[in-house]
């Protein structure tokens, strides 16, 4: 799928972007893999993991999705785009709403327009369970973004550009997620818990990448791909990570839900179930009525709802720790133990 192709990853220096790029370079022979992000230090650190001599197809492009002109320049000759750039901290969104709108909504519009103009073949945008029935600003911006990418297939008209979305839950160990946070709190002997009833969906970075790969292979344009993944209570997560710690209830934070949902009852009439995932077909223009779309999928029952507290798959503490046994805490994220990390001594003095 990637051999001979030019791939651009927005937010390419983030947790997902780094793992996705590693996977693509290890398993295929792309013409170019372009890292599009706004942090020069993270780009430099990534270049230490993937030296130019060994990975001549890798490119680095400083830019922001808010900058349409810069995006247009970066997309020249690109075939596939993975859109992972976003502002995503729930509480920060409540206090900085305009910044989240500029990146998550206006950035999505910029990417859609420039991808169509550049003749990009496929675009897969990463979304979140918080975009389904959102109660917080972050979720609302991602819902708007999802709608934009679905409608982008209409904007594309007769051009070859097609857009789809992948939506999944909390990523184990990504920067800013609760698992690295709990691990960093263990030395204090106390873990802060917002509510002991809270549940969340959980997915690994590698599972997220598998979903993106499946979406790229199956997409016809306008679908939202949702994986079947387990749920876990946050108190059970805390007990598994730090059984020696006391749990302190601090109350739900601004914009936080007790439970997350990835498919609502309103989406059920145009949702198909596959063995490992669901596909929410686009309702726009009644595209979901097209019998050629995703043959083999089974319609979900009326009133179907896929939410973390009603899930049929649950992750035990032992299963969680088995998954995490291959990872270690580096800064604010968990990474595979076998992944190299650039030495700070290798960085130029002005970046140290």
Q: Which residues are catalytic?
A: 130
Orientation of helix 137-156 relative to helix 107-118, angle to 10°: 20
SS3 call for 311: coil
Running DSSP on this structure, what letter comes out for residue 141?
A: H
- Pairing verdict, β 32-37 and 6-10: parallel
User: CB burial class (10 A; 0-12, 13-18, 19+) of residue 295?
Assistant: exposed
CB 132 within 8 Å of CB 143: yes
* Residues 255, 136: Cα–Cα separation, whole Å: 4
- Count of CA atoms in the C-beta half-sphere (13 A) of 188: 10
**Axis-axis angle for helices 205-218, 15-27 (nearest 10):** 60
Find residue 212's DSSP bridge partners.
none
Residues in the chain: 352
């Amino acid at each position: 799928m990637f051999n001979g192709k030019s791939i651009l990853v927005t937010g390419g220096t983030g947790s997902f972007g780094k793992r996705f790029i590693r996977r693509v370079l290890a398993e295929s022979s792309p013409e170019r893999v372009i890292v599009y992000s706004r942090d020069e230090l993270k780009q430099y650190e990534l270049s230490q993991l993937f030296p130019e001599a060994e990975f001549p197809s890798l490119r680095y492009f400083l830019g922001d999705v808010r900058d349409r002109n810069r995006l247009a320049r970066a997309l020249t000759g690109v075939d596939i785009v993975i859109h992972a750039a976003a502002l995503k901290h729930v509480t920060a969104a409540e206090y900085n709403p305009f910044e989240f709108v500029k990146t998550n909504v206006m950035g999505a519009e910029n990417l859609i327009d420039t991808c169509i103009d550049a003749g990009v073949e496929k675009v897969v945008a990463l979304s979140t369970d918080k975009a389904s029935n959102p109660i917080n600003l972050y979720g609302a911006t991602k819902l708007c973004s999802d709608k934009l990418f679905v409608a982008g297939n209409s904007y594309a008209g007769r051009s070859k550009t097609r857009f789809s979305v992948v939506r999944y839950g909390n990523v184990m160990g990504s920067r800013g997620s609760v698992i690295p946070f709990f691990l960093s709190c263990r030395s204090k002997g106390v873990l802060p818990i917002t509510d002991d009833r809270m549940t969340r969906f959980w997915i690994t970075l590698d599972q997220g990448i598998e979903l993106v790969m499946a979406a790229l292979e199956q997409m016809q344009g306008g679908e939202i791909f949702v994986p079947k993944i387990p749920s876990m209570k946050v108190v059970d997560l805390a007990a598994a990570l730090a059984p020696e710690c006391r749990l302190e209830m601090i109350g739900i934070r601004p914009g936080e839900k007790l439970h997350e949902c990835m498919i609502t009852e309103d989406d059920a009439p145009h949702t198909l179930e596959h063995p490992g995932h669901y596909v929410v077909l686009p309702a726009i223009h009644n595209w979901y009525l097209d019998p050629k779309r995703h043959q083999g999928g089974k319609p979900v029952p009326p009133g179907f709802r896929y939410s973390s507290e009603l899930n049929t798959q649950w992750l035990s503490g032992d299963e969680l720790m088995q998954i995490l046994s291959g990872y270690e805490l580096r800064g604010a994220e968990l990474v595979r133990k076998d992944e190299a990390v650039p030495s700070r001594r290798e960085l130029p003095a002005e970046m140290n």
